[in-house]
Amino acid sequence: MSLSASLKLPIDGMACTGCASRLQTALNAIEGINADVSFAAKSAEFTIDDSVDYDDTVKSILILIEQKGYKTALPLEDDALNNGQSVAPPSPTIKAPHDSQAKTQELLLEGVTCASCVGKIEKALNALPDVQQAQINFALRTASITGDVDTETLIKTIEAAGYNAKSTDNASDEKLLDEKEKADQKYYRKLILQVWIGLGLGVPLMAYGLLGGPMTVNSPIERGVWLVIGLICAAVMYFAGKHFYIGAWKSFVNHNANMDTLIALGTGTAWLYSMIVVIYPLALPEMARHVYFEATAMIIGLINLGLALEVKARGRTSEAIQRLIGLQPKTARVIRDGKDIDITIEQVLLDDLVRVRPGECIPVDGIVNEGKTTIDESMLTGEPMPVKKSPGDEIVAGSINKSGSIIFKATRVGKDTALAQIIKMVKRAQNSKPPIGRLADIIASYFVPVIMIISITSALVWLNFGPEPSIAFAVVSATTVLIIACPCALGLATPMSVMVGVGKAAEAGILIRNGEALQNASKITTMVLDKTGTITLGEPKVTDIYRVNSMDEDQILQLAASLEIGSEHPLAQAIVESANERGLKTDKVEHFNAIAGQGVEGTVGDKGLFFGNQKLMLEQGISINKEAQDVSLKMAGEAKTPMFFAIDGDLAALIAVADPIKEDSISAIKRLQKEGIRVVMLTGDNQATAKAVAQKVGITDYFAEVAPADKSKKVAELQAQGEIVGMTGDGINDAPALALANVGFAIGTGTDVAIESADITLMRGSLHGLADAISVSKATLRNIKQNLVGAFIYNAAGVPLAAGILFPFFGLLLNPVIAGAAMAFSSLTVVSNANRLRFFKPQDH
């Protein structure tokens, strides 16, 4: 009998029914499925045929959804159709990866002038069959492309769209930054020269007109003078505004329209009309023989001034990256053949022995081999206190050696160091686009054509219904609409804030993976905290040994440590460390078996051992007397974790382990609660221990005795209640829950698996980093909204004014020069507002 399975997934990030339709079409291309995507329900339902592998198909679905720019997660259960037969669901850890295994390339763009350009390039790149995702950062003028496509194809595609690009491959971050700074400085100097050329003609002409000089052509002398000025103005248009006209022509050839199109049409119309007045004055009514050469020159000068100021201000937004790159030393002192030699950082090899003296920067990642010291890691973690390091401890590139001289073995070099990965993550996040930014993209894709239509409509209205000279009014209104409506501010609104916000977070030791995580963190209503290693230090110690039989403590501890030496659980390590401290030697364990959520079993010598929680004892039929039961409750009430140890089927002892609460966990949790966030604790400990820890840190909601596999289910249960859930953890067993949460926070001191599964990584162990991340997220989103609202209001108010909506009531018609100034400084306003984030400071701890 044919069997098919049903699957329903939430889809986050769809902006319209068109998104749902396109996603559905793409999903139905996957073999063996029938997809129905609903924009209203923000979900997708699938029927998966039994002719295809269920797990592989689900994974393909998840990856495709992520590639298309949306977010989803696996449900708790998948029900099969037909006779109620069940189909095994995939592992809860299967989820579309945050980063595809396909390579990601970065290209530097030239000729990108506004948000409309961004949309055209993204559309062209995303149309390539092997491109999974292409994102343009208008603020940085870079393209980030994920997919198996060669660089030459990408560059040709961008050129075909009317723009230029060059690869950044095989260039270090420092070299790229240096090249970008030099290019920006060169561009800035060029713009300033063009400003002087434009304003050099425009300002005297405007002053002449304001002082009462005639700007009309009514005599042969005036005709000759204005002809010379018109030719000079043409030279100004060439030398100071050539880039606008070249860009407009490229856009026209490629059937596009952008900022250059608006400026070229506006200034070109004003100049052409003026030249017609000069050459054929008798063809126009006397009242219409007004020239606008000053407007053409002034507009070009002012727009170039706005671009120059934007370039200057834009440079400040990348300060975080500059600081991070500046942490990388250029040389290292390695020991080869018994001699110390200084080499460039690129020449350091794995397993090289590196010497670092006091005050020097750690050049690559490694493990201390000789010596003791303290290391200042504040530039990476945000933690101000230096950290003690001794043989066996890890150190990371970019940190500062404070006191002693050490020799360490290089374990990660080049682009594999933690600092290099941090720089890569920050750059990727700065290039990403939060969902709120897609609104600006959608508007920008229609914006320029709509403005051109409004400009033409405005001119026609003035020609047909306006007072004399109607043709002059028509030219002024059409030109002013084109000039004032540039969508630069709209294009800069989101990326500028994201760049500064992500950089600000990195300075505090908070690594944000992408723009979506940055936005979603501001919406969190419930924060789920794992207990061990998150609220607590994750360094449990044995505090009590309660003996039930006649064996002494050392015998019990020796057997327990022998059994637990095969386990990686923090509580097991506490047992082993306690035995080591007493100088007890462990024996070989046989038939070791870890029982998920309960404990371990094994054989040491001729003794069969069980060690774990009360549930393990009950399932193994091991009786617990009332006195032992009371002792375990007392231990749990003191926030200790009681573990039961049985030998040959009889309870032998209770061993209590306590994991100290981090010093600042209580204050950090209060900060979260003050923000209106519900804080929930998850732990595998028993009810009594969980209650005691929760009470100490001020948490009222907690789940105890939660098996590792059930953590993601608790997250899903909270999401089903309508909560926007953040999950914070540090262990491998937290990875599924971190992946399923709306935003996953990994404690950077935890495992690589947890960090890879998370959306945001906290480089230090303090939960204050969690509160700081949410504060930065809220501040950044608030800044983005301010920018977007400002850009929308600017265009919504500016265009009607430019078209002449106030003329019938007050006789006011906006001057094209005023429009040029307003347009130039609108972008500067957005950039300046984004830069305010650089001074943002989270609430004091």
Point out the residues that are catalytic: 530
Report whether 68 contacts 23 (CB < 8 A): yes
Strand-strand pairing, 33-38 and 43-49: antiparallel
Helices (H) and strands (E) in the chain, counts: 27, 29
Which one, of 280, 255, 277, 251, lies nearest residue 264 by Cα? 251
Buried (b) or exposed (e) across 310-324, using 16+ Cβ within 10 A?
bbbbbbebbbbbeeb
What are the DSSP E strand ranges found in 114-215? Answer: 131-137, 142-147, 164-167
**HEC per residue, 611-657:** EECHHHHHHCCCCCCHHHHHHHHHHHHCCCEEEEEEECCEEEEEEEE
**In this structure, are residues 723 and 526 in contact, taking their beta carbons and an 8 Å threshold?**
yes
Run of H or E residues at 561? helix 553-564
For the chain, the distance separating the N- and C-terminal CA atoms, rounded to the nearest angstrom, is: 63
Which H or E element spans position 222? Answer: helix 220-253
What the block records as the tokens of 595 is 């029982």
By C-alpha distance, which of 590, 651, 643 is closest to 620? Answer: 651
Q: Which residues, other chains included, contact 259 with Cβ-Cβ below 8 Å and sequence gap of 6+?
A: 113, 114, 116, 117, 247, 448, 486, 487, 488
Residue type, 273: Y
Give me the long-range contacts of 317-320 (CB less than 8 A, separation at least 24). 317/139, 317/496, 317/499, 317/500, 317/503, 317/831, 317/834, 317/835, 317/838, 318/140, 318/177, 318/430, 318/499, 318/503, 319/503, 319/838, 320/426, 320/500, 320/502, 320/503, 320/504, 320/506, 320/507
Say which DSSP state 237 is in: H
Q: Are 329 and 363 in contact (CB under 8 A)?
A: yes
Side-chain half-sphere CA neighbours of 97 within 13 A: 9
Helix/strand/coil for 692: helix
- Name the token pair of 734: 């937290």
Both structure tokens of 548: 């039930």
Cα→Cα distances 626→137, 547, 630, 633, 704, Å: 67, 14, 6, 11, 22
Residue 845 neighbours by CB distance under 10 Å: 11
**Whether 570 contacts 540, CB under 8 Å:** yes
Cα→Cα distances 718→735, 736, 737, Å:
17, 15, 12
Q: Given the DSSP bridges, would you call strands 678-682 and 701-703 parallel, antiparallel or unpaired?
A: parallel
Q: Please tell me the total number of residues recorded for the chain in this structure.
A: 845
Q: Are the C-beta atoms of 466 and 285 separated by less than 8 Å?
A: no
Which residues does residue 607 pair with via DSSP β-bridges, in sequence order? 604
Distances (CA, A) of 818 to 156, 277, 473, 480, 798: 39, 23, 16, 9, 11
Q: 176: which DSSP letter?
A: H
C-alpha 452/C-alpha 481 separation (Å) is 8
Q: Pairing relation of β-strands 406-412 and 365-370?
A: antiparallel
How far apart CA 363 and CA 327 sit, in angstroms, is: 9
